[in-house]
Every structure is written in C-alpha cells, then in structure tokens.
Structure 1
C-alpha cells in the first residue's frame, strides 16, 4: 500500500478510522456522562454499524467505558492517563509551579495557568483560593477565549486580522455581560495590549471577576496566568494588588520558560 493511500509521509489524505477515533474521544471529552449509541451517532454522524464496532474496540482498549447495561458510553480511564502524562511532561507547567504558589500566596485567591487551543483556553494548573467563598476551575477544563481574562490576554498578542480569522463574528453568550460582537472584542483587545492585562467582568461566570496576563516566552503567546475573585469581595485596593502580583508573576514565569 502506498504512502498516499495510508496518508503517510507524502502528505496523503488522513486515515478515516484514525480521524473518527479522535473525533469520538473529543465528543466524549466535551460531554461528561454516559450517552446512548443513538445520541453519539446523532452528534458525529457515522453509520451506526461502523460506529458500534469502533465503540466496542475503544471499550476493549479502555479508552471508552460502558454502563452496567452495555448500551451507554462515556470516556474511559486511559484518556485520563494520557491527559495526566501531558501535564506531567510539560516543561512550562513544571516551571510555573513556584510562580503559581507565590501568586496564590500574594493574592490569597484562585490562580490558574491556561493554554490557548483554537478558540478556547484549557486550564493546565490551578491553585485554590484561601477564602471560604471561592471559585473552582479543574485542570483540563475548556473555556471560551472571548469570555475569559486568560483568553483575552492571549488573543491580544495576536493581530486584529488573526483574531478575525480565529473567531466568528457572533460570539457565544455565557452571561448577560459577555461580549458577543467580535469587533467590539477587538476594540477591547487594543486596551489589553496597552495596559498589559485583561479583565473578565462577570463575562464567563456571574459574580466572578478575573484578571489575566499572557506569558510572552514565545510570540504569539500561548500560555496565560489569571486570578479569579468573587465580585462581592473585590475592593479597589485588592484589585490593584491582584494586577501587580499578576504582572510580577508574568515576568518571573517568562524568564523561567525562556530557558527551554
């Protein structure tokens, strides 16, 4: 069989079964819980017979699990092992640990390291707030870039044209405060570039304000740091403390990450 037929070194078409496998795993990763065969087929559009055989293969290999009836499917434990391996092997995540620890101590709030992936940011590491009233973001959670301080800080390291190519004209609304017009968001990104940090004003979660900074150890930046504060606890003095701590953490992590 030629390389073109297999999608090999000559740059032929992707292998259909491999593409379908990845799409299935991404489907389950984005929709926690168990799903019927019909629900999965409605979402991915594969022929039911081939979908069933692919699911059974993934179940046998541990990438997909079934419930007690064997008729509903969800993500398997091997996916967790791969995700953990990604985090454990990432040099920037390792370098960020002391920075996140200090940022958590300096602000007493929840702090995060995230990476841009398409139109979303994915949380790579987090430290929980020291307060009773606190938000929680798990490692691996995906959030829309346009509605988060992390995402806006990263989008601001790209040109306006790059942002237009990445995001649709109409952006998804998550709260009543979410900016849903791409051009309005682009206007905001110019301010982010000027001041060096981005702000999420309850745009992703009601009652929660976030501040984010891109970590420019590469251009454009792919990683960012953020601090989340319940709006009820955010005073002007605390807001300034958070911003200063983030800018300091950005500089320290940028220096550390440039060694790689």
Structure 2
C-alpha cells in the first residue's frame, strides 16, 4: 500500500502533495552535478558522486545524450553538460524582466566606474550571476553569467543576506562556512555581525574572500523584501584608491536607487 493510500482522504479544498517522480529527480540531480563540475566525467566517477544504480545511470545518460542535454567524448565513455542546457539557461536570462530592466543601469554603472559589474540573484545558499559588464581595464573577455558562488563569500551575497533577519540567516547557513580563500569568513556568527554593519552602511564588501586580489562592493535591489537581486562592482586591490572606492560606492548607490524605481512593480 502506498503512502497516499495510508494517509486517508484529503480535506476538501486542500491539494494533495504530488509524489516526486524518481526519473525526473535523477535527471535534475545529474544536470546540476554537471553544471557544478565543468568538463567530462567517467561513468564510475558520476556514479560514485551521485550514488545512483550504475545501470539506471547509464540508461539515463544515454537518453540525455540522444536528446542533446549531455555530451560525450569520442570514446563515448565520458560525459558532460550538453548544448541544450545552454539554450534553456539563455532563455531564462532573455525572458527575465529584472535583467531586461537593469541593462541601461548596468551599462551606466560600468561607464561610471570602468570596473567589472555583476547582477546576481539569491538561490538558496548561493548567488547566481545573471548579467556581467566587463572591466574596461581588461583585454580578455570573460563572463560569469550562470555561474554559482557561495552567498557568504561575495559582496552580492552579503548584501542579500543583510535583507534577512539574523534568525533567517542562521536557519539558512551552517555554523561553519566553506573557505573559498584564506580571507573568507567561515564562522556564521562572525558573518551575522558583519551583516549588521552592512544594514547600517547600505553596502557589503568582499575583501578578497572569493577571489584573491579582488575587492568587491555590493548593494541589494530593494524591490522585494527580503531582497532577491543585487548588483556589485569588482576592482583589483592594487588599483583601488580611497577616491576610487568612494566613487564606486556613490555609483552603486545611484544604480540601486535607479533600479529600485524601474523594478518597483516586478
């Protein structure tokens, strides 16, 4: 007898929770596994990481290869994320109202600071990058769009966490946090103390906590409470003067106010 059969009749007007479909759950786990680990991986390594039955995993991989969601090497024994995932991810960015509304402000912020600009969204204990403007000082193009980083190690993440209560932050994060660099705050209570300062000053700072040699300043966009999206400016420590830092903060506050207006009804 299933759980649904033993649970008794549902109350009128109360929806019955749908049981998860095992194959769908495994498909999502597999794609998220590939998204977090770029490159190609052997069946044995994937099976070891996900603890799925090897025969079921193989059939799932072959199905996703045929559909274009997973790619293989020339031997057909190593697997990685496929082009279909990129198409779906791009459609999310292209259809997002906040990203579209923020484009002129991100362009202006990039011009005003000449530094790298990011727009990101809170997703659990991570921030996901939705848009990037490359620094005018860099010659090699790069993008972080779609990349996921720990919420506690980025200025974007700290700005978003500061829009939550201390109790909500404690419920979200473990007591010990991952050390991304030697400067990352790894104690949850120390992070909670810093979030109080973020609320007071209106911006967050990443002091080489995510990337050595880079300092980041971030502000949350308050069109929702708690905030869901934030914008940041990254600058190499070697080029950061007191005057440049003041100008960056002023430009971020101006961008935050402009974005607050254009996203007010979203």
Shorter-chain TM-score above 0.5: yes
Name the structure 2 match of 1:151: 157
Quote the residue 1:256 is aligned against.
262
- The aligned residue for residue 11 of structure 2 is none
Task: Pick which of 175-184 and 130-139 moved more.
Answer: 130-139
Residue equivalent to 1:175 = 181
Match of 2:102 among 86, 89, 96: 96
Question: Which residue is 2:171 aligned to?
Answer: 165
Between the aligned partners of 1:134 and 1:171, the Cα distance in structure 2 is: 32
The aligned runs of 1:66-105 (5 Å cut-off) are 66-105=72-111
1:10: Cα distance to partner?
2.3
Residues 110, 136 of structure 1: 8 Å contact kept: no
Which of 198, 201, 209 is 1:195 aligned to?
201
CA apart distance, 1:13: 1.9
Runs of at least 5 residues in structure 1 that lack an aligned partner in the other structure: none
Aligned-pair CA distance for 1:133? 7.7
Q: How does 1:185-224 map to 2 (within 5 A)?
A: 185-224=191-230
Give every structure 1 segment of 4 or more consecutive aligned residues whose post-TM-superposition deviation is greater than 4 Å: 133-137
Structure 2 spans left out of the alignment, 5+ residues: 6-14
Structure 1 residues 15 and 142, CA gap change in structure 2 (3 angstroms): same
How many Å separate the matches in 2 of 1:220 and 1:137? 27
User: What SS does the corresponding residue of 1:113 show, helix, strand or coil?
Assistant: strand
How far the C-alpha of 1:259 sits from its partner, in A, is: 2.8
Taking the aligned partners of 1:201 and 1:228, their CA distance within structure 2 comes to 10
Q: Does the residue aligned with 1:152 lie in a helix, a strand or coil?
A: helix
How much does 1:209 deviate? Answer: 0.1
Structure 2 counterpart of 1:244: 250
Cα shift readout 1:41-64 (whole Å, capped 9, x = no counterpart):
001101100110111111111110
TM superposition score normalised by structure 2: 0.93
TM (norm. structure 1) is 0.95
Q: Contact conserved, 1:158 with 1:220, CA < 8 A, in 2?
A: yes
Distance 1:51 1:175 in 2: 35
Q: Is the partner of 1:240 in helix, strand or coil?
A: helix
SS of residue paired to 2:145: coil
- Give me the whole-angstrom Cα distance separating, in 2, the residues matched to 1:135 and 1:251: 29
Pairwise CA RMSD of aligned residues? 1.5
Query: Matched residues in 2 for 1:99 and 1:200: separation?
Result: 22
1:65 to 44, 67, 71: 71
| Aligned residue-pair number | 255
Q: Aligned equivalents of 2:201 and 2:176: distance in 1?
A: 26
Q: 1:134 to 1:207 in 2, by over 3 A?
A: farther
